[in-house]
Amino acid sequence: MATEQYDVVVAGAGGMGSAALYHLARRGVRVCAVERFGIAHDRGSSHGDTRIIRKAYMEHPDYVPLLHRAYALWEELEAEAAAELFARVGLLVAGDPDSEAMRGQAACYQAHDLPHEQLDAAALAVLSLPAAWRGFYDPLGGFLRVEDCVRRHVALAQKHGAKLYTGEVVLSWQREGEGVVVETTRRRLLTARLVLATGAWAVPELGRLGVAACVVRKVQLWYQGRGVEQYARGAFPCFFIADGERYFYGFPAEEPWGLKLAEHNVSHDPVADPLQLNRALTDGDQTPVRDFLARFFPALQPALSKYAVCMYSLTPDKHFVLDVHPECPAVVLGAGFSGHGFKFAPVVGEILADLALEGATQHPIEFLRLSRFAQRRS
Ligand SMILES: Cc1cc2nc3c(=O)[nH]c(=O)nc-3n(C[C@H](O)[C@H](O)[C@H](O)COP(=O)(O)OP(=O)(O)OC[C@H]3O[C@@H](n4cnc5c(N)ncnc54)[C@H](O)[C@@H]3O)c2cc1C
């Protein structure tokens, strides 16, 4: 078995690993990524055409500084891309003003000076919302073309000299002196630093570190049908709707698949082994979304045109884990992106590169470090 030497090895070249690979390669270090499938594959958490991006962050206002940097990096990444990566179509957030989501959104606008427009139900007539509901229109929102973003990060990383091994699995890693030895299905890698960006496959490692994370199966659905043109790109933005405690989100209709939408927190179908994920559409998969469409999109007669099954890696507080491994300072961990991480991919890549090369980062990530779980347990 061949032995190779690197400054940094990145395990996993999905959403976050591809970004880390690029940020490491552009700093001139000798770096490789090992990816069990291909680039922009459909077995992990970074597929299904689109991901919402937004700056006003109801989940936690501390994400906003990271988003400022992520937006700048997406713009850079897109600059010489052949096709659109970031569709700036705006985002509507709507719901009962007393709901947690709407209160979180309002709190974020209070904490940060971000452009927005407040809307009442009359202004949202196309959606048939309850009269007491309100909306925020976020002109900075939109969507990212998820697979193209992954491909772009990898292509630019390779341009900067990164090596890529696909169809190859990281089997184990262990500390060796100041560095790490990584065994894959094809080779032995001696490296000064290892970045673990293995998505749903990183959840057992989080468990070993005392973080009770879990993987859940999530379904993305696309609909065509009579009335879909009312919700087409140009006429309609991305949307996030809080129906009480049930959150739904979606994307304006585009050809050939139409309107894409999904529920965010209704189903919690656990996945014991990501390799055994049920990728077929099951009987109940459409039920919450069809009910949602019937209530709020009455002009649409939905006909399913496509679906994709994906995984969320949920931490107990639904915030990410970005940190140096507490048992091995040569290992850096980017995991637990809890169903809302993709929009951060370039800044996460930059942070993982900082942590790997400097052991620290200027980015404000204290609220994402592992120590927050230890504090809660004590
Ligand atoms: C249905 C759905 C909708 C979402 N919507 C949004 C949204 O609108 N906006 C948003 O910002 N975020 C969203 N997210 C979240 C976002 O997509 C994820 O947080 C992000 O893609 C996670 O990236 P990752 O790199 O951690 O995982 P992945 O992209 O899955 O990458 C992990 C990679 O590691 C590889 N790997 C694993 N183990 C090994 C090993 N041992 N050896 C080699 N390779 C290995 C895997 O093959 C995989 O390619 C959504 C997620 C889902 C599932």
| 359 vs 333: CA distance, rounded Å | 12
CB-based contacts of 38, cutoff 8 Å, min separation 6: 166, 167
Summarised one tens digit per residue, pLDDT across range 93-128 is 999 999 999 999 999 999 999 999 999 877 788 898
Q: Atom 50 (ligand 1): residue with closest C-alpha?
A: 339
Summarised one tens digit per residue, pLDDT across range 195-248 is 999 999 999 999 999 999 999 999 999 999 999 999 999 999 999 999 988 999
What is the C-alpha end-to-end distance of the chain, expressed in Å?
45
**Contact, 180 vs 173, CB < 8 A?**
yes
- Report the C-alpha dihedral over residues 254, 256, 261, 262, rounded to 10 degrees: -150
Encoded amino acid at 327, one letter: E
| Helix pair 146-159, 15-25: axis angle to 10 deg | 30
Q: Atom 29 (ligand 1): residue with closest C-alpha?
A: 14
For position 377, what pLDDT does the model report?
53
What is the whole-number distance in angstroms between the Cα of residue 12 and the centre of ligand 1?
9
Rg for the chain (alpha carbons), in Å?
21
- Given pLDDT bands bounded at 50, 70 and 90, which one contains residue 92? very high
For position 106, what pLDDT does the model report?
93
Q: Atom 5 (ligand 1): residue with closest C-alpha?
A: 51
Summarised one tens digit per residue, pLDDT across range 326-342 is 999 999 999 999 999 99
**Comparing 120 with 314, which gets the higher pLDDT?**
314
DSSP string, 288-310: HHHHHHHHH-TT---EEEEEEEE
Q: Is residue 274 in contact with ligand 1, taking CB distance under 6 Å?
A: no
What is the whole-number distance in angstroms between the Cα of residue 340 and the centre of ligand 1?
10
Q: Is residue 288 in contact with ligand 1, taking CB distance under 6 Å?
A: no
For position 81, what pLDDT does the model report?
79
- Pairing mode, strands 91-95 and 134-138: antiparallel
Q: Is residue 264 in contact with ligand 1, taking CB distance under 6 Å?
A: no
Provide the CATH topology of domain 91-139+214-314.
D-Amino Acid Oxidase; Chain A, domain 2 (3.30.9)
Q: Is residue 52 in contact with ligand 1, taking CB distance under 6 Å?
A: yes
Which are the catalytic amino acids?
47, 50-51, 260, 264, 310, 343
List where CATH 3.50.50.60 sits in the chain.
Answer: 2-46+147-209+317-377
**Contact, 8 vs 28, CB < 8 A?**
no
**Contact, 222 vs 307, CB < 8 A?**
yes
Prior bond to 256 cis, omega within 30? yes
**Comparing 359 with 378, which gets the higher pLDDT?**
359
- Given pLDDT bands bounded at 50, 70 and 90, which one contains residue 41? very high
Question: What counts of helices (H) and strands (E) characterise the chain?
Answer: 8, 20
In the predicted model, is pLDDT for residue 375 greater than 80? no
What is the whole-number distance in angstroms between the Cα of residue 224 and the centre of ligand 1?
27
CB-based contacts of 79, cutoff 8 Å, min separation 6: none
List where CATH 3.30.9.10 sits in the chain.
Answer: 91-139+214-314
Poorest-pLDDT segment among 10-19, 112-121, 250-259: 112-121
Report which of 155, 161, 158 is spatially closest to residue 29, judged by C-alpha positions.
Answer: 161
| 324 vs 347: CA distance, rounded Å | 16
Q: Atom 48 (ligand 1): residue with closest C-alpha?
A: 14
Q: Is residue 36 in contact with ligand 1, taking CB distance under 6 Å?
A: yes
**Contact, 316 vs 323, CB < 8 A?**
no
Which atom of ligand 1 lies closest to the CA of 335?
26
**Contact, 188 vs 5, CB < 8 A?**
no
- Taking residues 30-41, what's their average pLDDT? 98
CATH class of 2-46+147-209+317-377: alpha beta
